[in-house]
A and B are shown apart, each in its own frame.
Chain A
């Protein structure tokens, strides 16, 4: 009985922990937060595991991309950057859109910044380098 009570208390404590929302800056930022990449073609901007607030902006950016509204896509991505300023996955997407509109210089700046924050994640760095080559 005592064990059951302790177990329940522990579960309640854990449940309490689970309700605490993850802060955006605490989200792990790995290559899994990037869209897929196949033969130079980028998947949906909304792909990948990301913080819900950032993801909602990625979805808007993807809608804008599908309509060819690159400027709007950049606007949504920059809002995502302000929520997670050091998320290389956001900077990567911004750089990709900059490339689509021919702003190679800004794309390069963004990728260099992304590299700073992806340091230590070799897969991520590879993806960034691949886009830098483009």
Chain B
């Protein structure tokens, strides 16, 4: 990482006599921005003089001639001459080497441009579900500023149900789109009107939010600009502040050095550097921040060489892109293009004079003059730059007074448009590396369009943070012990909409969503019940024995699972065993269905890791990451299609050429009706079982399963509505028990997330029919009385018994309902 520059001569520049008229300064800036100023600088050779000749001649008058040189002195002289020649030769070689280095690196200078990663763009179309709250948040995250009438690009206004948005131009993966003034009407949570200047609009996108980068090792980030794109004021202000003689010197300024030395001597320490802009660039480009005489000489020589080969404009353009201007977490902000976006949330050409001055002021020390941490210092520095700008005729006195009167307003560095989403980024990077080399991702300036939905992501982050705080308030001894992870996907496409790898959502670190392998507990049960349903021997009304169960394990040890409440519940309908998550009934069912069949069911659901056919597998004594769990439940949520969970929508080059775009994939593993049949069981979990808090909160049809591993080390909830699947995990990194279950720790996070995102009820199962089952779990024929359960239509004909026959069989086992009617 480059270090800040400390070479400004600004303080003394203010008092120094003017060397160029204001008009000349302006023309320098203007010519800089035009990029036409020639670098032809004539080098004058210094007249050679024989300094020592005269005094020596004078001295020789009247004195005896010197004795002839002895052999010894001749030898030393020769040696001296040879040594000098060798030194000159070596210096020459070094110079040639430096020259080659300067040219090779500057000619081939290609900044490693990190890939820029974007969230999904917000699409707007009539009929779309969209709340005013979400639209407001998304506009703010995309750095839109609210202003009356939304008359400037990048601004918006809201008046009642009507929203006015002046959308920015953006290079989307399927083509660049120009700026557009939009009017959106939101009524009752939906877009009811969408127009632009020409009339109705069928579909439009807002530009996507930046969510992070794929950086090289030093984490340098920048947005390249051309000199002609930089405001003339910026270039001029930079020159008068950092290196007033820039357009006059050859790379090194003797006057600048002398002035710096004087200032340092007066101050009794290092207060000012004498480096030119060229030297600063050389230091950042080619050298380390080491402070030594040799390095200083090297820097000066390289600056001279750089100026010998390249124009002032080329050097200035490189400087504008290279200079270090701030830090955002791991990300080093380089160049004025990115700094403008980072500090002010807008492109360089939209900056005001006071903002330009603040950025120029940062060059002297991005950390020292950080406007967020040291606002007073930054303001002082900004005002000094504004003073210099006025003094040099770049701005008028009135402009200077106006600009200095403005407060130091910067956009929040923690705003959504500048923060990163580490867990999601890591997964996206992993998935990208299947098709792209890491080096290219780190250096080619690719644009990565992803599936992340910031609205969903923020919802899950907030929900997790709030719920973990609540849990810790209940159990203060667990403060900072609890961790969490979450995966939210779209039910139909398998697109990952949110990923949380830690409760500290903004920190890069252990990504639990991908890397934590945790026991899944009862989240395994749907695989057991699905195997049972597929076997043809069970339906949801089948009776299961929930009595104590003992199973011999692989090495003859006995496995005796217990229910969570340490009670046995006798014979229960299969639906109750799942809804209430009875371990004993499930273990017995799994053994009856066959361990191999259950293992096969996991594989069919998309679990890729090989699972040992141990009985404890039935109750989830297997470790999976939240992402793997989400993959398994995705198959259930998407009606039986095993889908890769994907993060990448498209990849384009820096110039907008599409390299790849991805679309939906998914192999059909199940008949959708079979999955609907299983889904009924999960709906019952949410309606009246262990996740009934969800049914109570939302009052709509949802599917869910809670999970709690042995000794309550892991708390899970996997559930879906008509649009999203969410998998939430809560636990401790040291894998110690917690006094929480899936229902008490993970469920509230799911609930709060979906409350914010909005839920849509699951559609009723279209492929199932209802039929009656008697109290023994026997399927009855048409018009018989009994408990009603959904069935696959093809299962009815073969097994249903006429009411009479069933009644005969169950003689003596009449229910009170039979008595009543």
Q: Interface of A with B (CB < 8 Å)?
A: 19-24, 26, 51-53, 55-57, 60, 71-72, 74-79, 81-83, 85-86, 94, 106, 109-110, 112-113, 116, 119-120
Contacts and interface: CB of A to CB of B under 8 A. Distances in A.
Contact of A116 (B174, B191, B193, B672): B672
Given A71-B658, A81-B493, A21 B126 contact: yes
Contact of A82 (B193, B493, B668): B493
B661 A75 contact: yes
Interface in B359-400: none
26 contacts: A20-B192, A21-B126, A21-B191, A21-B192, A22-B127, A24-B125, A24-B128, A53-B127, A53-B128, A53-B202, A72-B174, A75-B650, A77-B663, A81-B664, A82-B123, A82-B495, A83-B123, A85-B490, A85-B493, A106-B663, A109-B641, A109-B666, A113-B664, A113-B666, A119-B672, A120-B766
Main secondary structure of the interface of A (DSSP, over half): helix
Contact of A24 (B127, B492, B665, B766): B127
B809 interface: no
A119 to B, nearest CB: 7
A76 B658 CA distance: 13
A74 B663 contact: yes
B650 A52 contact: no
Contacts, number: 93
B661 A52 contact: no
A19 B187 CA distance: 11
B818 to A, nearest CB: 37
A106 B665 contact: yes
Nearest to A80: B203
Nearest to A71: B661
Contacts of B123: 53, 79, 82-83
B125 to A, nearest CB: 3
Interface in B635-671: 639, 641, 650, 658, 661, 663-668
B125 A53 contact: yes
Contacts of B193: 21
Given A51-B127, A72-B174, A94 B658 contact: no
Contact of A78 (B191, B641, B661): B661
* Most central of B126, B129, B491 by chain A CB within 10 Å: B126
A23 B127 contact: yes
Interface in B168-199: 173-174, 187, 190-193
B663 A78 contact: yes
Contacts of B767: 119
B663 A109 contact: no
Contacts of A26: 127
Interface of B: 123, 125-129, 173-174, 187, 190-193, 202-203, 490-493, 495, 639, 641, 650, 658, 661, 663-668, 672, 766-767
A94 B658 CA distance: 19
B127 A113 contact: no
A57 B203 contact: yes
Given A19-B192, A74-B661, A112-B668, A55 B126 contact: no
Nearest to B667: A109
Nearest to B638: A113
A78 B193 CA distance: 24
A68 B126 CA distance: 30
Contacts of A52: 125-126, 202-203
A75 B658 contact: yes
A26 B774 CA distance: 39
Contacts of A86: 492
Nearest to A94: B663
A71 B203 CA distance: 21
Contacts of A76: 174
Contacts of A75: 173-174, 650, 658, 661, 663
B647 to A, nearest CB: 14
A53 B191 CA distance: 12
A113 B668 contact: yes
B665 A109 contact: yes
A75 B662 CA distance: 8
A56 B493 contact: no
B793 to A, nearest CB: 12
B120 to A, nearest CB: 9
A74 B173 CA distance: 12
A72 B766 CA distance: 35
A20 B187 CA distance: 9
